[in-house]
């Protein structure tokens, strides 16, 4: 049975992906705008002979349909569902208020996660985000948040619990707190971004489910997780990190580092680590990657296909690192060397191709008795959105 709860988000969220970008005016009227996205992925994983989980795979990665509602008085709302899987899931379900640089949001929302996660999946440099994002459990939650933005600075904070769909189910009954601050100055023609965040979580029913920190090999359609910890009885988690990015014309760089501390009763507490660094450049003249409001925005080609150009073409490279070995817990280490080519012919379409070499040390899945090996991953995506 589906539940629905309205939610809130802060001045920073007015610029974050959760909150609809509606401007408040005295002459405000009700406005309803449909929103949808469709992503089809194909991938192939190859590795040493006998390694489980290799071969081609495909999936409808996302099939989301929703609505943004603008209301008088600076209020707005969003309701969006994910139809790619079974059962259907809620993505966003919240109500927000924006005014005077302040923002409040209540409901299921994204709580100020790393830059690569705050950036919409429509606008990321690769089909999947950095390994640390899913390995450390960043996801939407149900709760209340607030924030303030002025000039180059914004700060957001909030408290949350489980997803709406899990509130009445057997779950870890979590309670979490989140804080993120971002400074976005400009130096000449270069737009800069610096941020820091902290996340705390108490799993009040920790004994009901063991935590297993893990990550897929870059593509979501791959079933195996070559880097993974055993199940851990974790009562509390703290995740903290720093982020930096810059954009100058066709060039962009971004990097983040996060530490994830897990508190276990009667056992040593591990601290896992993840980080990445990436750089990208547009090969088409006049195109640039928007960086504002604490996230990267949508690419809008300077010369779209059919309008005197071929759209925007972007080349990206990334180094991605994840270490799940700590305090006697052996989850393995992953070093990823990645490249992607993105073609955005119009505002509503995107085509992506990518390659990754992932080197594992102490992998969770052995092949011929060996846990140190590498895999090669190729992937592609076709995306449509409105």
DSSP 41-95: EEEEEE-STT-TT-EEEEEEEEEEEEEEEE-GGGEEEEEEEE-SSSS-EEEEEEE
Cα separation, 196 vs 176, whole angstroms:
17
Residues in the chain: 386
Give 101-153 pLDDT, tens digit per residue: 999 999 999 999 999 999 999 999 999 999 999 999 998 999 999 999 999 99
Nearest 10 degrees: CA dihedral of 155, 3, 35, 107? -10
Q: Is the dihedral of CA 119, 122, 125, 127 positive or negative?
A: positive
Task: Assess contact for 6 and 77: CB atoms under 8 A.
Answer: yes
Q: Is residue 136 part of a domain?
A: yes
Please, which residues have CB within 8 angstroms of residue 5's CB and are 6 or more apart in sequence? 93, 106, 107, 108, 142, 164
Q: What's the pLDDT band for 353 if we cut at 50, 70, 90?
A: very high
Neighbouring C-beta atoms of residue 49, cutoff 10 Å: 7
Give 280-317 pLDDT, tens digit per residue: 999 999 999 999 999 999 999 999 999 999 999 999 99
**% residues pLDDT > 90 (the chain):** 85
pLDDT (mean) for 359-380:
97
Longest dimension (CA), the chain: 70
* pLDDT of 3 above 70: no
* pLDDT of 238 above 70: yes
Task: Assess contact for 143 and 150: CB atoms under 8 A.
Answer: no
Rg of the chain over all Cα atoms, to the nearest angstrom: 21
pLDDT at 174: 87
Angle, CA 49 vertex, CA 46 and CA 53 arms, to 5°: 50
pLDDT (mean) for 29-35:
94
- Phi first, then psi, for residue 214 (nearest 5°) are -160, 175
Cα separation, 381 vs 58, whole angstroms:
10
Q: What's the pLDDT band for 169 if we cut at 50, 70, 90?
A: low
pTM for the whole structure: 0.89
CATH number for the domain spanning 170: value is 2.40.160.10
Cα separation, 359 vs 371, whole angstroms:
10
pLDDT at 205: 74
Cα separation, 158 vs 11, whole angstroms:
12
Q: What's the pLDDT band for 329 if we cut at 50, 70, 90?
A: very high
**Listed residue (287, 293, 375) closest to 337, CA to CA:** 375
Q: Quick one: residue 24, left, alpha or beta (phi over 0 = left, psi -120 to 50 = alpha)?
A: beta
* pLDDT of 171 above 50: yes
HEC states along 66-79? Answer: EEEEECHHHEEEEE
Burial group, residue 98, by CB count within 10 angstroms (0-12, 13-18, 19+):
buried
pLDDT at 349: 98
Q: Is residue 313 part of a domain?
A: yes
Q: Is residue 4 part of a domain?
A: no
pLDDT (mean) for 68-85:
95
Please state whether beta strands 153-161 and 214-215 pair in parallel, antiparallel, or not at all (unpaired).
unpaired
Cα separation, 39 vs 30, whole angstroms:
30
pLDDT at 28: 63
Give 82-95 pLDDT, tens digit per residue: 999 888 899 999 99
Give 192-215 pLDDT, tens digit per residue: 999 999 999 998 876 667 889 999
pLDDT at 167: 55
Neighbouring C-beta atoms of residue 132, cutoff 10 Å: 28
Three-state DSSP class for residue 301: coil
Cα separation, 93 vs 66, whole angstroms:
10
Give 40-72 pLDDT, tens digit per residue: 999 999 999 999 999 999 999 999 999 999 999
Q: Is residue 5 part of a domain?
A: no
Q: How many structural domains compose the chain?
A: 1
Q: Is residue 107 part of a domain?
A: yes
* pLDDT of 367 above 80: yes
- Supply the range of the domain harboring residue 63: 11-385
Q: Is residue 90 part of a domain?
A: yes
Q: What's the pLDDT band for 384 if we cut at 50, 70, 90?
A: very high
Q: What mean pLDDT, rounded, does the chain reach?
A: 91
* pLDDT of 16 above 50: no
Q: Is residue 338 part of a domain?
A: yes
Q: Is residue 252 part of a domain?
A: yes
pLDDT at 166: 57
pLDDT at 29: 86
Question: DSSP code of 117?
Answer: H
Angle, CA 221 vertex, CA 130 and CA 383 arms, to 5°: 75
Q: Quick one: residue 53, left, alpha or beta (phi over 0 = left, psi -120 to 50 = alpha)?
A: left
Q: For residue 377, how many C-alpha atoms fall within 13 Å in the half-sphere facing its CB?
A: 32
């Amino acid at each position: 049975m589906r539940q629905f709860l309205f939610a809130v988000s802060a001045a920073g969220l007015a610029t974050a992906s959760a909150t609809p970008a509606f401007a408040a005016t005295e002459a405000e009227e009700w406005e309803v705008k449909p929103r949808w996205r469709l992503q089809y992925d194909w991938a192939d994983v190859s590795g040493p002979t006998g390694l489980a989980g290799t071969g081609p795979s495909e999936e409808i990665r996302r099939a989301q349909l929703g609505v943004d509602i603008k209301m008088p008085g600076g209020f707005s709302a969003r309701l969006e569902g994910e139809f790619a899987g079974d059962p259907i899931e809620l993505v966003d379900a919240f109500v927000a208020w924006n005014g005077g640089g302040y923002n409040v949001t209540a409901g299921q929302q994204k709580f100020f996660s790393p830059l690569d996660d705050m950036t919409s999946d429509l606008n990321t440099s690769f089909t999947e985000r950095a390994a640390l994002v899913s390995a450390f459990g960043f996801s939407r939650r149900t709760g209340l948040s607030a924030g303030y933005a002025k000039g180059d600075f914004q700060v957001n904070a909030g408290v949350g619990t489980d997803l709406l769909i899990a509130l009445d189910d057997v779950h870890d009954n979590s309670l979490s707190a989140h804080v993120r601050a971002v400074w976005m100055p400009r130096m000449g023609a270069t737009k800069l971004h610096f941020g820091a965040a902290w996340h705390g979580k108490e799993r009040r029913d920790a004994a009901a489910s063991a935590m297993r920190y893990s990550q897929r090999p870059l593509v979501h359609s791959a079933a195996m997780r070559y880097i993974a910890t055993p199940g851990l009885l974790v009562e509390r988690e703290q995740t903290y990190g720093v982020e930096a990015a810059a954009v100058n014309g066709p060039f962009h760089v971004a990097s983040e580092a996060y530490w994830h501390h897990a508190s276990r009763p009667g056992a040593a507490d591990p601290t896992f680590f993840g980080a990445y660094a990436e750089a990208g450049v547009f090969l088409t003249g006049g195109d640039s990657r928007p960086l504002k409001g604490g996230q990267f925005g949508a690419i809008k080609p300077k010369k779209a296909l059919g309008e005197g150009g071929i759209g925007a073409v972007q080349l990206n490279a990334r180094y991605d690192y994840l270490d799940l070995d700590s305090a006697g817990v052996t989850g393995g280490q992953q070093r990823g060397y990645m490249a992607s080519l993105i073609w955005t012919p119009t505002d509503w379409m995107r085509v992506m191709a990518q390659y990754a070499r992932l080197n594992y040390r102490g992998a969770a899945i052995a092949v011929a008795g060996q846990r140190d090996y590498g895999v090669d991953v190729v992937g592609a995506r076709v995306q449509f959105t409105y």
